[in-house]
């Protein structure tokens, strides 16, 4: 049953890559505006989800898992450095005009997301749902950004969607392989949870939050604060009602 939850969740995560269909006839500027709201919401949700759900669960099972949180932050910094992992939400981002590198980064990113989802479900159903939502919250603005970047790089909307979707399927593979590995070696689960928290914190603090500082008008500041608070409140509500 746990494997079914994992497969179902990773399929949903993969389908998020098709969100570009909604905006296939929209201008790139409209994608950027929607992405701004989603990035704000995601930043609040990922930071809060890490501190309220993932980190307490990891430390409860193994206090030494705290080191994996630190390692996770450093690990994803290394990936960003050598694979150009960062998912820029600017549509005209020069570092992402090299399509193969962008897709390679997404390939590894989605696979690891699948492993994170698997480890969470092996601990608890509710934690699995929280982790899946955390992945989705970041994937939605990320996939919008990737779609815009691929279009900007010269790909047709259809080809951009297809490439995004194919690469996203690696999350299913990561979920299945992660399940069989972690079910046999449960000792690693607290450390994978720590890595997940490190990933969420790194993404939110180095990827999402800096994006929000690029728009500093009073209107934008109010809007991003509102959406950040929404993200925080959602994770708090999950903590209260799904213990």
Per-residue pLDDT of 226-240, as tens digits, reads: 999 999 999 999 888
Q: Of all residues in the chain, what percent carry a pLDDT higher than 90? A: 45
Q: What is the pLDDT of residues 190-209, one digit of tens each?
A: 999 999 999 999 989 988 88
52 CA to centre of own chain: 17
Residues 6+ apart with CB under 8 A from 185: none
pLDDT digits (tens, 9 = 90+) for 13-44: 999 888 767 665 666 666 677 778 888 999 99
% the chain with pLDDT above 70: 83
Confidence category of residue 87, pLDDT binned at 50, 70, 90: low
How far CA 174 is from CA of 87, 111, 171, in Å, comes to 20, 4, 5
Of the chain, the end-to-end C-alpha distance in Å amounts to 20
Structure letter (DSSP) for residue 213: T
Distance separating alpha carbons of residues 148 and 87, to the nearest angstrom? 11
Q: Are 151 and 212 in contact (CB under 8 A)?
A: no
- Predicted pLDDT at 23: 62
pTM of the model: 0.84
Residues 127/119, Cβ–Cβ less than 8 Å: no
Higher pLDDT, 171 or 20: 171
Give the whole-angstrom CA distance, residue 66 versus residue 220: 36
């Amino acid at each position: 049953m746990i494997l079914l939850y994992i497969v179902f969740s990773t399929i949903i995560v993969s389908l998020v890559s098709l969100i570009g269909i909604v905006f296939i006839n929209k201008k790139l500027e409209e994608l950027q505006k929607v992405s701004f709201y989603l990035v704000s919401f995601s930043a609040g949700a990922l930071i809060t989800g890490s501190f309220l759900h993932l980190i307490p669960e990891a430390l409860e099972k193994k206090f030494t898992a705290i080191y994996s949180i630190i390692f996770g932050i450093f690990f994803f910094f290394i990936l960003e450095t050598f694979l150009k992992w960062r998912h820029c939400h600017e549509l005209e981002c020069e570092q992402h005009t090299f399509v193969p590198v962008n897709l390679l980064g997404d390939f590894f990113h989605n696979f690891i997301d699948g492993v994170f989802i698997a480890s969470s479900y092996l601990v608890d159903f509710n934690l699995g749902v929280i982790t899946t939502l955390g992945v989705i919250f970041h994937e939605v603005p990320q996939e919008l950004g990737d779609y815009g970047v691929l279009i900007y790089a010269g790909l047709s909307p259809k080809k951009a969607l297809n490439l995004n979707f194919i690469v996203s399927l690696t999350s299913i593979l990561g979920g299945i392989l992660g399940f069989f590995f972690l079910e046999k070696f449960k000792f690693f689960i607290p450390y994978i949870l720590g890595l997940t928290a490190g990933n969420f914190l790194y993404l939110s603090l180095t990827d999402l939050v800096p994006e929000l500082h690029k728009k500093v008008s009073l209107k934008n500041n109010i809007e991003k604060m509102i959406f950040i608070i929404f993200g925080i409140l959602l994770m708090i509500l999950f903590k209260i009602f799904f213990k």
